[in-house]
Structure 1
Amino acid sequence: MRKARISFDGTIHEAFEWEGRLKLDDGRIVEEREVEWLTPIIPRTVFALGLNYADHAAELAFDAPTEPLVFLKGPNTFIGHHGFTRRPADVTYMHYECELAVIIGKTARHVKKEEAYQYVKGYSVANDYAIRDYLENYYRPNLRVKNRDTCTPFGPWLVYANEVSNPMNLKLTTHVNDKLVQEGTTADMIFDIPTLIEYFSSFMTLSENDVILTGTPKGSVDTAVGDVVVTEIEGVGRLVNTIIGDESFLNR
């Protein structure tokens, strides 16, 4: 079952796929374009992995990390499906990052890898944009790179864990204006999902609706105002986003 959060007629609803449309929690059937898509959950603590695919590290001329490179993301970075992401006028290189989002389902402390999937509620798609102009260095993306308003589309769906048979073997793609620009597989992660859950829970408590953004494969290229970016993960969802400029952003 795929579940979304949407706003319709001024009210927030849970919604489910229904024959190409959406069925709201009050029983009404609506078209996908009639609603405002919200993030599938309200994210709590969000952990984002840097350089978690060796091919992406090589693409950026960095060595693959020997332990997870992690930064945190604030809540205002997240927007929903069909949302709009700002590209500041002064930047020269802003790129998408298609990522599998792992959503924690219950309190986790000192979890062993063998038990890690018991703590996963489900999965979603994230597009964690980065502005390379603002990057300080490879191991410390600063706030302007990864914590800007609207910089992380997230959704459309929460797909429950029992519906994804092998999250470590999913195809990821990104299309910009219908052109395929990024393709990879979660099988190529340096640190897989159980390893990440064991790592984080070894020194801090994970809670329901914490999110782990697991990194992106190679293929990140510059984007422009007006580009329509579609990040898709096999069996999890297709996330659509449009890049806008400063004037459009400030007038929204």
Structure 2
Amino acid sequence: MKFLRMGKEGAETSCVLDADGVVRDVSSVVADFGPTTLADLTGVFDGLDLGEFPEYAGDPRIGTPISQPKNIYCVGLNYSDHAAESGLAVPDEPILFNKSSSSFCGPNAPLFYAAHMTKLDWEVELGIVIGKTAFGVGPDEAMDHVAGFTVVNDVSERAWQAERGGQWMKGKSFLNFCPTGPWLVTPDDFADVQNLGMWLDVNGERMQTGTTAKMIFDVKTIVSYMSSFMMLEEGDLICTGTPPGVGMGKKPPRYLKIGDTVELGIDGLGAQKQVVEEL
């Protein structure tokens, strides 16, 4: 199933995209998609006919597919071809870092360009949304703890990330650095989540083309590995890495500027569009 939240920021309506592409208002059954409702989203609709729910007719804005997550985690250098592009060795274990939860925003929100930015970059990524607390779970159990998948743009300020010392988080956490959505898609919608095409364009020019088949650490491994170090909680978002074609990897490097348009998507998960605006 494909879940989404529609309407004005802070007052979104829970909806489902039906098989015909019609957005249905399901707020009468699930008030919101978030930590308290993610554990059994599909079960709530067992035996129900989506066609009997009213079409959504409110504000056309698409919000984040889930309410505010407590934690946003990321996996670095998780595509073999991106590691090669970066001139770095394939990691032996997942490289983990955080994005601030305040970076979380809707899929079509603007990207902000602040005066002290110089190297604003893009990264199309598969996002994992945790549906049930995971702590010390094995790879074979991992998918039982996943509510679904979504598209994420792991926006980065490379100068802050690589040239300012310390950890990567400072280059990953600015306002609107985590556009997420448009949909949360449940695992049963995919024959193989490890074989999804990915793409990203800047001003209509293709920058990234990839596939989740190139992930060094797959979804099951990531969830299991992370749960051995921390408790993953309902609603947590995990960004799983990006294929090659980021601005930092171009020769010469290429970065976003005010007025640029970024569009990105993943097979079966929908697409996003952002415009870079001066802050």
The residue aligned with 1:250 is none
1:99–1:213 CA contact under 8 A, matched in 2:
yes
- Alpha-carbon deviations, 1:59-81, whole Å to 9, x = none? 22222221111111222101102
Whole-angstrom CA distance in 2 between matches of 1:8 and 1:140 = 35
Q: Deviations over 1:16-49 (max 9, x none)?
A: 22555532236553569x4232211122322101
Note the C-alpha offset of 1:178. Answer: 2.1
Relative distance call for 1:41 and 1:59 in structure 2 (3 A) is same
Distance 1:214 1:96 in 2: 14
The structural deviation recorded for 1:10 is 7.8
* Partner of residue 39 from structure 1, selected from 59, 64, 69: 64
Distance 1:177 1:136 in 2: 26
Q: Quick one: which amino acid aligns to residue 139 of structure 2?
A: K
**What is the TM-score of this pair, normalised by structure 1?**
0.89
The runs of 5 or more residues in structure 1 that have no matched partner are 247-252
Deviation at 1:142, TM superposition (A): 3.6
Unaligned 5+ runs, structure 2: 28-52, 248-254
Matches within 5 A, 1:162-181: 162-181=188-207
Distance across 2 between alignment mates of 1:236 and 1:217 = 16
Partner-residue secondary structure (3-state), 2:168: coil
The one-letter amino acid of 1:227's match is: D
CA RMSD of aligned residues (A): 2.2
Q: Over residues 177-236 of structure 1, what are the superposed CA-to-partner deviations in whole Å (9 max), with x where a residue is unaligned?
A: 222110011111111111111111112222211121100011012222112211110111
The partner residue of 2:264 within 228, 231, 238 is 231
Give the alignment's TM-score, normalised by structure 2: 0.80
Which whole-Å CA distance do the structure 2 matches of 1:15 and 1:226 have between them?
31
Which structure 2 residues correspond to residues 151-162 of structure 1 after superposition, within 5 A? Answer: 151-162=177-188
Q: Which of 94, 106, 109 matches 2:120?
A: 94
Superimposed CA distance per residue, residues 81-112 of structure 1 (whole angstroms, 9 cap, x where no aligned partner): 22111022333321110000011111212111
